[in-house]
Amino acid sequence: MHVAYLYPEHLGRPAARLLQVAATLRALTRQGAKVSLLVGRFAGLHGRLAELDLGPRPGLSLEPLAMWQPGPGSRAFFSWHLPYHLAALARLRRLAGQGLTWVLVRHLKLAGFLLPRLPELGLKLLFEAHELFSQTAREEGADPARVAALAALEARVFTGAHCLAAISRPLAQALEALPGVRGPVVVAPSGVEEEFFASGGQEREPGLVAYAGGLGAWKGVDLLFRAVASVPQARLEVLGGRPGSGDWQRLGDLAQGLGLEARLTMRPQAGQEAVRELLGRAVVAVWPGSGRQRIAAEFTSPLKLFEYLAAGCAVLAPDLPAARAVLAQGHNARLFRPDDADSLAQALSGLLAAPLEAGRLAWAGQRLARAYTWDARARVLLDAMGEGRP
């Protein structure tokens, strides 16, 4: 199967979603798909692809396109989508004559642009949904006119795409409930690299609690700090963010106010090797989450959760639909009341005081993670395209 994957953003800009995009592309090629990657051209593109492990490989062909997006090696100082959209359409027209059958898109505006134009090329669209943008905009207090415009665009894409894939089961259920959506919606969660299953070869450090990921307020790291502060036997190591950023400063001030500094190590965002090293030492890994926004409570599929599981850590997660879509309380994880530092502290204290229980959860979690590899995700997407709607 020949598919085109379109990424209209500047590939050189740091974005957590790039890890998922790159891993999905590698897995699609491992599963035998021929993938054309349509990405904006900029100075340093090939070096950036090498950093993402997307250098020359069988099954993957690079299709650099014009774009006007700010970022390293670009002259642009504002975002303008049209140059990439037009260039992508022209390239798809050429690829359609070379056996291309499916177009994979995760950007709503791009999908809306392509949807009425693909039929004349004989191409089908798979849209990969990661949230309901209109819902998020409404929760963030956006202008009602903007919310209405996003809802209208979503309705057009969700009802017109030949195949819909959702990042989580709760999101798939929300999509299936929308008027005009022809289900079922395919569920293609995030995944984990095979290397994480070998992370537990070293000795675990008693009391070590790990968090890897972003430091934004909605990530729940503040909650984790407050919980660890009341568990004296816990030491917390955080891997993520940038020193000097507002989030880094906010958390530093919070740690100082809680008296947590002596039991806290904060390390800046680093590559996957550093994540594996940390998780290989930790006894417990925490996904703090938050129930305050629907995207975080229901729709997310955090790839760090699957890395925690695969690395053999005992996992603590909030009792939210997004977590329950993957985890089972008491079987492969411990769930705590969302946004409740006392509940998280109680669960953490209990696990650190019961190493056999922590080990049992870690073993069950690692077995669970085997169902969430990137290759498994690629197979879901390829099977969906093979059975796409007429």
Spell out the domain ranges in the chain: 2-190+373-386, 194-372
Residue 162 structure tokens? 């030949």
pLDDT recorded at residue 81 = 95
Residue 190 structure tokens? 């995030």
Q: Find all residues with CB under 8 Å of 318, minimum gap 6, and list them.
A: 220, 287, 288, 289, 290, 291, 335, 336, 337, 338, 339
Residues (pLDDT < 70) of the chain are 200-201, 387-390
Closest by CA to 348, choosing from 389, 318, 305, 309, is: 318
pLDDT recorded at residue 200 = 63
Helix axes 355-369, 303-310, angle to 10 degrees: 120
Topology agreement, domain 2-190+373-386 and domain 194-372: yes
* Angle at 254 (CA atoms; ends 251, 256), nearest 5 degrees: 110
pLDDT recorded at residue 390 = 46
Q: What is the architecture of the domain spanning 194-372?
A: 3-Layer(aba) Sandwich (3.40)
- The per-residue pLDDT for range 164-204, each reduced to its tens digit, is 999 999 999 999 999 999 878 999 999 999 999 987 667 89
pLDDT recorded at residue 184 = 86
pTM of the entire predicted model: 0.89
CB 212 within 8 Å of CB 307: yes
Q: Which residue has the tokens 């800009």?
A: 13
CA–CA dist 173, 325 (Å, integer):
11
The DSSP result for 339-351, as a single string, is T-HHHHHHHHHHH
Long-range contacts (CB closer than 8 Å, 24 or more residues apart) made by 172-178: 174/132, 174/298, 174/299, 175/129, 175/132, 178/154
Distance from CA of residue 279 to its chain's centroid? 18
pLDDT recorded at residue 125 = 97
CATH topology of domain 2-190+373-386: Rossmann fold (3.40.50)
